[in-house]
Amino acid sequence: MVTSADILVVDDKPDNLRLLSSILTNEGFKVRKVLNGQLAIDAARIHPPDLILLDIMMPQPDGYQVCQDLKANPCTADIPIIFLSALDTVADKVKAFTAGGVDFISKPFQQEEVLARVKTHLQIRQLTKALQEQNQRLQAEIQQRRQVEAELSQALHELQATQEQIIVKEKLASLGALTAGIAHELRNPLNFVMNYAESSVELAAEALDELTAATSPLAESAPAPAIELPYSEPERLATLQEILSDLRDNATAIHQHGQRAERIIRMMMQHTRTEPCERKPTNLNELVAEALDLTYHSKRAQDSDFNVTIQTDYDPAVGMISVSASDLGRALINLIENAYYALQEKYHQSPVGFTPTLLIQTRRHPETVEIRIRDNGIGIPPEIQTKIFDPFFTTKAADGTGLGLSITYDVIVGQHQGTLKVTSQPQVFTEFLIGLPA
């Protein structure tokens, strides 16, 4: 291999050229002879040799200039150049190496020395080339493996997404038609119960007011009662008062339970809704802000002592996203209501030094949009973290249906092909992270 190499010999003295050529040809090398610098540059560019033997002292361009020119061109930069010169001070040699030469042979030269140096540099070049090639092969292999890995991970992702969707569908199927039927059947009679119960509460309260007025010490100075009372004895009036008071309590209970049942049915119907959700471009930050507003005011209306520090951090880059606004809004409300509940619970347990805080954050990523809902409430014990998305799972004895998160999961993962993740540390925080395809 080394001995069949192509060597370019450059010298402006024909005698030198002939001598060098014969030494190298005798060793089996292929030799090209060139008489000046410019021809050397052209010859090397047209057909790059494996090595160049280059005289320094030549008319313009001289050996240094030829060398610099070849090193500046990527096609010829790698060719090893050995300088040949009668100049042999240290300064000359340094100049030759600085110009890019790999070696320096002083004239007059010894045949053995020339051959030894030429062979050494051809060998180094050959090994370097082999190393470079191997390196390139390895790089290509690494690249290929990376690609295979990326494809595998993509396939895994798709499989997981499909599995998640199958689970959602199975869940829907298991609740199924029966739930839808029951919900429909129950809704009408329940409406009656609610209406009657509501008016019973009002009537009982009215009657009770009348009786209270009639039996209170101030009754004499008060205007005559509006109804004729059939009772004359105070004890009988007192008994009646007790009965009416019980009636009012009963009716209140009917009303409360009715409301709860109605809520269960409403949520079950959301669960089994069969019509496809209609998506429209929606300003996501506005949707989140609306859900926050709505929940906060309804909470304040129920309980005027309710107080939570709300931190919002909306990323303006989130922009418009194609979603079913009513369903996603419902999902957000469920998550925020859960957070409020967790904050209130913790506040009731230990109010001292505790600032109930809710953080709502939106973020735009290249492929997804993220909504973070974080509270510093009671947290979720690890052993129930896997159950919270199950329908009817609740820790809120009388207050919860346990359908909130199950619906939320269906809306985000099932309808919108998004992700819903929870992280929590008991007594420290709970964080729900929604990811939606952008």
Query: Interface residues with ligand ATP (CB under 6 A)?
Result: 334, 338-339, 342, 375, 377-380, 388, 393-396, 400-406, 430
Instruction: Identify which of residues 381 and 437 has a Cβ nearer to ligand ATP in the complex.
Output: 381
Least separation in angstroms between residue 291's CB and ligand ATP is 14
Least separation in angstroms between residue 363's CB and ligand ATP is 20
Least separation in angstroms between residue 335's CB and Mg ion is 8
Instruction: Identify which of residues 288 and 380 has a Cβ nearer to ligand ATP in the complex.
Output: 380
Least separation in angstroms between residue 221's CB and ligand ATP is 49
In the region spanning residues 380 to 409, those forming contacts with Mg ion, defined by CB under 5 A, are: 404
Instruction: Identify which of residues 281 and 381 has a Cβ nearer to ligand ATP in the complex.
Output: 381
Identify what 319 binds: Mg ion, ligand ATP, none; CB under 5 to 8 Å per kind.
none
Identify what 375 binds: Mg ion, ligand ATP, none; CB under 5 to 8 Å per kind.
ligand ATP
Least separation in angstroms between residue 405's CB and Mg ion is 6
Identify what 414 binds: ligand ATP, Mg ion, none; CB under 5 to 8 Å per kind.
none
Instruction: Identify which of residues 8 and 405 has a Cβ nearer to ligand ATP in the complex.
Output: 405
Number of C-beta neighbours around residue 308 at 10 A:
19
Instruction: Identify which of residues 132 and 309 has a Cβ nearer to ligand ATP in the complex.
Output: 309
Least separation in angstroms between residue 254's CB and Mg ion is 24
Least separation in angstroms between residue 412's CB and ligand ATP is 13
Position with the least CB separation from ligand ATP: 404
Identify what 342 binds: Mg ion, ligand ATP, none; CB under 5 to 8 Å per kind.
ligand ATP
The contact mask relative to Mg ion for 305-344 (x = CB under 5 A, - = no) is ---------------------------------x------
Residues in contact with Mg ion by CB under 5 A are 338, 404
